Amino acid sequence: MKIYSYLLLGAMFLLGGCSDLLDIDPKNKIPADELFSTPEGVQAHMANLYGRLPIEDFTYSPNRGFNVGVGTDVNNAGFMAAHFCDEAIHPEYNDFGEEWFDYWEDGYKLIRDLNSLLVTIPTLTSITEQQKNEINAETHFLRAYTYFALAKRYGGVPIIKEPQEYNGNIEELRVPRNTEKDTWDFVLEECDQAVSLFGDANENDVLRANKWVALALKSRAALYAASVAKFTHQPYVSFSGPAVDQKLVGIEVISADHYYDECISASQEIMNSGKFGLYKPSPATPEEATTNYQKLFEQPFQCLDGLKEPIFMKAYAANTILAHNYDVWFSPRQMILDPNLYPGRMNPTLDFVDSFEDYTDDGTGTPKPISTRVDGNESDYNGFNLSTRYLSFPIDKPYQAFAGRDARLSAMVLFPGQNFGSTKIIIQGGLVKADGSGYHYRTQASEKGQDGLIYYTYGAEKSTEYSGFDPTLGHYTRSGFLFKKFLQIESPVEQAWSKGTQPWIDFRYGEILLNYAEAVIEKTTSTSAEKQAAQDALNAVRKRAAHKDDIALTQANVRKERFVELAFENKRRWDLSRWRTFHKEFENRVRKGLVPFLDLRTNPAHYVFVRVNPLGIESKTFDYSWYYKSIPGTGANGLVQNP
């Protein structure tokens, strides 16, 4: 039973609304003995369960939930987790905040079916004992993953380990919330159970749960639990109310080191296994590092030789309902010409771009903002000024403004004037008149340059010939940058929905190294040996990006490295949440942009870059209440509500 088939079948069940069809007793849609009477029936049920796993992948959207875009349901407006933090802005909808959907009901439906399966496994006669053991292990992993998704959203939740049966007394089905500590402990126990049951089963299969995948989940979950314990109290945050009094949210700080140790132990087991490593860890040049990093996410199946970086992936299938829409939503406008498609929806922020180092490599790891002005003032966001002396960049190579930056930046972000495949991408937002009497910004206009040629505000005359700043449609970047991580840049983008097939890497070795480094620096009792190993892990990640120096193991360096290494992998929003820094990072904050102006006052014309507050992007404030989602249906289920 291959997980590729599980995912494919699972998508079919989701598309057809058939998840209940494969519910086993006690709902009695299909009796257990019928469903599991053949290996194919077992395969179908496992496919259903895997298809409902709350993976925050290409088909996850904070405003719609999981598996959005499977089949024909594609309209999530291109919203992704990156839009809900400081990684990116959306060019059409000025949105921000907490998830709009509730995972509560779907999460407990999945838990119900997992509990039923655990009871049913010993009775199966259609599969071997080895297969029973593997399914048992997978089920514990799936249950751990599901409770993890609930815990990071709601805190302490009801822990239900066995199938519930309705015997006429509804009160018997009402299970109170466990403490947040109990909930995280259960997630880690389930990971341990899965590890012990898996043994060596499936261990070389990145498309199926195995021992290493369970350890990777434990590494991630334990780090989250540790952060909750360390930072969910003053001076970081302050909550009050019945949920706090009953310890349904928050964990006592004394438990933090225990959870950091759990993360360290799980991470070390992966690090010492001899099975995993960073993809191409020692590039000769930054250019080589860019190519390597880009390939890891565009073509991960081609990056599995030797020590693997991907630990667990979710696959998609061409010409089936199991596909995604990343290439349609996020490719530049110039690549997507069909008026019924909506490209250009992921605009990396200048805040993100400014977070990368150059290759000074002075041992500090300090980010260096993009240089735009002769006077070095990079804090002015008031827009273009005719009297300001800006740095100039060639008309045919405006991307030189970003030369010498960390290789990962150019692997993730598309700069003005760079090629997407063989197409030069035009990103321009302003035009300075040749006589210096004024300029055009945010309106399409034309001017004759000193060379006699006609130039346009947005870099070209027709709306299909440029990819930036036109406010009439939501297809153009407003930040000055476009997105390319994961995208199939060298292959023609299919002008249709549900054609994306590049896999999603859910767990990878780079994250494990950074989990380990963070756990060690945050733990109060870390040994000198642990600190040295953690510093080595931190710097290994940087050196894969062609850095040559070693930076210190500090909280700031670890957090910055997570920001730039794991960007757009749906980690940042949860990092800011578990560190309890979201409300500090977003207090009337406007995410920034960088506008290229073509200056016609010289011959040849040249580009200048202007820091701005992007058009239509309002200031944002993170509300304290978003650290924990509201429990739905408390009037009926009697559960204590979150603060």
- pLDDT of 362 above 70: yes
pLDDT confidence of 73, banded at 50, 70, 90? Answer: low
Burial of 4 (0-12, 13-18, 19+ CB in 10 A): middle
- pLDDT of 49 above 60: yes
User: pLDDT tens for residues 521-572?
Assistant: 999 999 999 999 999 999 999 999 999 999 999 999 999 999 999 999 999 9
State how far the Cα of 399 lies from the Cα of 421, in Å rounded to an integer: 16
pLDDT confidence of 171, banded at 50, 70, 90? Answer: confident
For position 27, what pLDDT does the model report?
A: 43
State how far the Cα of 597 lies from the Cα of 610, in Å rounded to an integer: 7
- Lowest-confidence pick of 19-28, 118-127, 220-229, 456-465: 19-28
User: pLDDT tens for residues 309-361?
Assistant: 999 999 998 767 688 999 999 999 999 999 889 999 999 999 999 999 999 99
Identify any residues that bridge with 461 across adjacent strands, giving them in sequence order.
none
- pLDDT of 44 above 90: no
Under 8 Å between Cβ of 392 and 372? no
pLDDT, average across residues 481-498: 92
User: pLDDT tens for residues 239-280?
Assistant: 999 999 999 999 999 999 999 999 999 999 999 999 999 999
Identify any residues that bridge with 382 across adjacent strands, giving them in sequence order.
612
For position 137, what pLDDT does the model report?
A: 98
CB half-sphere exposure, 27, CA atoms < 13 A: 15
- Lowest-confidence pick of 93-97, 155-159, 577-581: 93-97
For position 619, what pLDDT does the model report?
A: 93
For position 98, what pLDDT does the model report?
A: 78
User: pLDDT tens for residues 134-148?
Assistant: 999 999 999 999 999
For position 490, what pLDDT does the model report?
A: 85
State how far the Cα of 506 lies from the Cα of 524, in Å rounded to an integer: 29
Burial of 561 (0-12, 13-18, 19+ CB in 10 A): buried
- Lowest-confidence pick of 22-31, 172-181, 306-315, 443-452: 22-31
Instruction: Assign 182 to helix, strand or coil.
Output: helix
- Lowest-confidence pick of 41-45, 154-158, 239-243, 396-400: 41-45
For position 323, what pLDDT does the model report?
A: 86
- Lowest-confidence pick of 18-27, 61-70, 405-414, 595-604: 18-27
Residue that the structure tokens 């909506």 belong to? 342
Q: Are strands 593-599 and 430-432 parallel, antiparallel or unpaired?
A: parallel
For position 30, what pLDDT does the model report?
A: 61
For position 67, what pLDDT does the model report?
A: 86
User: What letters, b where the CB count within 10 A reaches 16 and e where it falls short, cover 208-236?
Assistant: bbbbbbbbbbbbbbbbbbbbbbbbbbeee
Give percent above pLDDT 70 in the chain.
Answer: 93
Instruction: Assign 328 to helix, strand or coil.
Output: helix
**Sequence-ordered alpha helix ranges (H) in 172-253:** 180-198, 211-231, 242-245
pLDDT confidence of 4, banded at 50, 70, 90? Answer: very low
For position 151, what pLDDT does the model report?
A: 99
For position 33, what pLDDT does the model report?
A: 67
- pLDDT of 439 above 60: yes
For position 14, what pLDDT does the model report?
A: 44
pLDDT, average across residues 472-485: 96
User: pLDDT tens for residues 6-38?
Assistant: 544 444 444 444 444 345 444 445 666 677 888
User: pLDDT tens for residues 98-121?
Assistant: 788 899 999 999 999 999 999 999
For position 237, what pLDDT does the model report?
A: 97
Can you list the domains of the chain with their CATH numbers? 30-59+101-314 (1.25.40.390)
User: Which tokens in the block code for residue 171?
Assistant: 């009160």
